Amino acid sequence: MSDAPSQVPQHLSVRELLEDSALGLKVRLVAGGAGLDRKIHHVRIQKSGLALVGHLHGVVPTRIQILGGTELSYIEGLRPAEQSSAVAALLSMGLSCVLITRGAEPPPSLVAAAQRTDTPLLVCAERSSLAINRLHALLDERLAPRTRVHGVLVDVFEVGVLLLGKSGIGKSECALELVMRGHRLVADDAIECDYRPPGMVFGQPAALLRHHIEVRGLGILNIKDLFGVTAIRERKRLDLVVELEQGEREYDRLGLEEESRDVLGVAVRKVTLPVRPGRNMSSIIEIAARNELLRQAGHHPARDLVHKLERTLEVGGPASSNYDPGRHEPGRPPSSQFRAPVLNESSAPPPVNPRRG
């Protein structure tokens, strides 16, 4: 199976929105019931005030359109013919739905236009700000960009480590060894990934594979039954990608090369580890997770060492540790501006016994 991510398009029908128990709004359908299967594709709602005055540019039909108290008062202030013209122009665009807040009764012209165009017209009891916040929270969850990745996701020291590699290279065996060391399995084989702002990707197992792992020779194992509830985790953010591969190519010896893997538009840091006989991969993955924690805290050991070496070479080589910039005097050779080394227990010569001459 290929490990290339396959993105799954997301949408939500108006009917599914109304039936969703997580909506948290008191919503009722007023008109346009024939259009309940229209799709919502955008996670953000749209206020339609300008559209009522004829400025339809920028109206996205697959967004939820909200009419609050300000918009309704404008409609009610128009003459009947102007009301019909304003609402007809808006609802003729094939909108997913129109939501009226504060429990206000919609004008008859709006109800008639919604019924005529099969546009679901909804009324909720909550004010606009609360309705918008709850809709955004629900749509962020239901319409989040998603993809499926073939690999293994493990929580190692609270670092979400995604193990990738060709089939049979030992990803599941590494994950099993990490679980035996006290870490937690998130998902094996098929990882369902979804995007969360600002720039985070979370992974969780496919529903049928939850808590299970496949190990060649043993078959399917239930990690929760074998090791208990502390050995599994339902969901984890992707912090580090570890690519396992077999090969003899040159690998980064210093750790200065930065690699990343794009997952749903987010660049997740990636390291490539060669798999060889006798190499303890689970221990190396633990070290990679610890190193990632250091990097997240602002420490980069390889880069810090290189900077120290560069500074040493710039000021004069290995003896630069004895160099005192404050003692620089014009006309004196640089070699005379080094401090004498300070002797300590390890560098001072042993004392001379006067009796032995």
The residues carrying an active-site annotation are 150, 171, 189, 253
- For tokens 């909550």, name the residue: 126
- For tokens 């229209």, name the residue: 38
Q: What does the CA dihedral 71, 76, 80, 81 come to, rounded to 10 degrees?
A: -20
Strand 236-237, strand 219-222: pairing:
unpaired
Rounded CA-CA distance 205/194 in Å is: 11
Which residues make beta-bridge pairs with 187? Answer: 153
- CA distance to 30, 107, 300, 309, 332, per residue, from 339 (Å): 89, 90, 31, 20, 14
Which residues make beta-bridge pairs with 332? Answer: none
Q: What does the CA dihedral 105, 106, 111, 113 come to, rounded to 10 degrees?
A: 180
- All residues at 6 or more sequence positions from 62 whose CB lies less than 8 Å from its CB, including other chains: 39, 40, 41, 42, 96
- For tokens 């005030």, name the residue: 49
One-letter identity of residue 20: D
Rounded CA-CA distance 217/238 in Å is: 29
The answer, yes or no, to whether the previous bond of 197 is cis (omega within 30 of 0) is: no
DSSP string of 167-226, one letter each residue = TTSSHHHHHHHHHHTT-EEEEEEEEEEEEETTTEEEEEE-GGGTTEEEETTTEEEEHHHH
| Spatial contact of 49 and 87, defined as CB atoms under 8 Å apart | no
- All residues at 6 or more sequence positions from 175 whose CB lies less than 8 Å from its CB, including other chains: 152, 154, 163, 185, 188, 213
Strand 97-100, strand 121-124: pairing:
parallel
